[in-house]
């Protein structure tokens, strides 16, 4: 038996992916165990799933933290180790359309919530952080404190569409409404962008004429529950390697992309 990895899971809602991961660990389809479950939402049903399995569960109530931070001067609330310029520079890699004042407020207030989340997480040492229906954007402040070895990213997310198509909050709905004949889900490493990180695995399903957005979502969730444990097990086996690729396109321009190689 390979040594079991410690998995931290962040959720915001139902936690069906969390349940699939817990079950896969218990059935040894993942050489690992869930060591904590955190949520930004105190009402997340996934918290009950964790407690039922005796897994430490905690809430970092983003809504109240963000509301309180609106009433205070930013410099009074940002974490000691918050480096605004560094975070701004990293974030601007992906969000060019922001005006600076909006970006400063957004990144500073989220760092307050993220500092509280990181503090709680240090109680439960983990090898891999899994976002499972976690509906908050993580900023470079948080990502850099988890991905301490840039060559070995360790934050995974699952998205309800075949990225790079249909990023955002309703992948299955967007896929269905577009009239696609195939839908799917994607597991990727988290980078500074939204749903833009290196892809680890994808699963696809056929969309039939009789399908509705609900049946499409149900097909997707069923595949998610297979895909996530498979991707986590690849990580547990040390078979995921992120490499930078540079491609020369037909018009001669160079196109760079970080991709995941699955080693044997
Ligand atoms: C899933 O569709 C997942 O792709 C997205 O959040 C949805 C709910 O996940 N990230 P869960 O039931 O809370 O695991």
* Most ligand 1 atoms within 8 A of CB, residue of 155, 159, 221 to mutate: 221
pLDDT computed for residue 147 by the predictor: 97
- Superfamily (CATH) of domain 5-262: Formyl transferase, N-terminal domain (3.40.50.170)
Residue nearest to atom 5 of ligand 1 (CA): 133
Cβ count near 213 (within 10 Å): 14
Alpha-carbon distance of 164 to 251, in angstroms, equals 22
Residue 221: CB partners within 8 Å, gap ≥ 6? 16, 160
Residue nearest to atom 10 of ligand 1 (CA): 133
* Ligand 1 center–CA 229 separation, angstroms: 14
User: Mean pLDDT of successive 10-residue segments in the chain (264 residues)?
Assistant: 88 97 98 98 97 98 92 90 91 72 90 97 98 95 95 96 96 98 98 95 98 98 98 98 96 96 95
Alpha-carbon distance of 87 to 84, in angstroms, equals 5
- On whether the CB atoms of residues 199 and 191 are closer than 8 A, the answer is no
Query: So where are the chain's domains?
Result: 5-262
* Most ligand 1 atoms within 8 A of CB, residue of 160, 201, 203 to mutate: 160
Q: Catalytic residue among 45, 53, 159, 264, which?
A: 159
Task: Name the pTM for this structure.
Answer: 0.95
pLDDT computed for residue 255 by the predictor: 95
**Residue 140 CB-density burial (10 A; 0-12 exposed, 13-18 middle, 19+ buried):** buried
- On whether the CB atoms of residues 137 and 164 are closer than 8 A, the answer is no
* Pocket around ligand 1 at a 6 A CB cut-off: 11, 13-18, 132-133, 158-160, 185, 221, 224
* Ligand 1 center–CA 148 separation, angstroms: 26
Cis before 164 (ω within 30) = yes
Estimate to the nearest angstrom the gap between the alpha carbon of 206 and the chain centroid.
Answer: 25
* DSSP H helical ranges for the chain: 16-26, 45-52, 62-70, 74-77, 84-92, 100-121, 140-146, 171-178, 213-236
User: CA-based angle 50:56:62, to the nearest 5?
Assistant: 85
Establish whether 159 is a catalytic residue: yes
pLDDT computed for residue 70 by the predictor: 83
pLDDT computed for residue 96 by the predictor: 63
């Amino acid at each position: 038996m390979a040594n079991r990895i410690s998995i931290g899971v962040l959720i915001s809602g139902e936690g069906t992916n969390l349940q699939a991961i817990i079950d896969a660990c218990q059935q040894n389809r993942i050489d690992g165990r869930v060591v904590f479950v955190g949520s930004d939402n105190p009402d997340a049903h996934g918290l009950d799933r964790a407690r039922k399995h005796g897994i430490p569960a905690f809430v970092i109530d983003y809504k109240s933290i963000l509301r309180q931070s609106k009433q205070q001067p930013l410099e009074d609330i940002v974490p000691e180790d918050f480096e605004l310029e560094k975070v701004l520079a990293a974030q601007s890699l992906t969000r060019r359309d922001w005006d600076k004042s909006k970006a400063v407020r957004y990144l500073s207030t989220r760092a307050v919530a993220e500092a509280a989340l990181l503090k709680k997480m240090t109680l439960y040492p983990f090898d891999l952080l899994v976002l499972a229906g976690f509906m908050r954007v993580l900023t470079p402040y948080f990502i850099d404190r988890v991905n301490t070895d840039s060559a070995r990213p360790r934050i995974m997310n699952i998205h309800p569409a075949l990225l790079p198509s249909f990023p955002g909050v309703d992948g299955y709905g967007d896929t269905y409404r577009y009239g696609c004949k195939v839908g799917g889900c994607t597991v990727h490493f988290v980078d500074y962008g939204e749903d833009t990180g290196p892809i680890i695995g994808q699963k696809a399903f056929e969309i039939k004429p009789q399908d509705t957005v609900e049946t499409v979502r149900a097909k997707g969730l069923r595949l998610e529950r297979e895909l996530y444990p498979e991707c986590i097990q690849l990580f547990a086996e040390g078979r995921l390697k992120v490499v930078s690729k540079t491609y020369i396109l037909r018009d001669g321009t160079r196109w760079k992309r970080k991709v995941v190689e699955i080693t044997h």
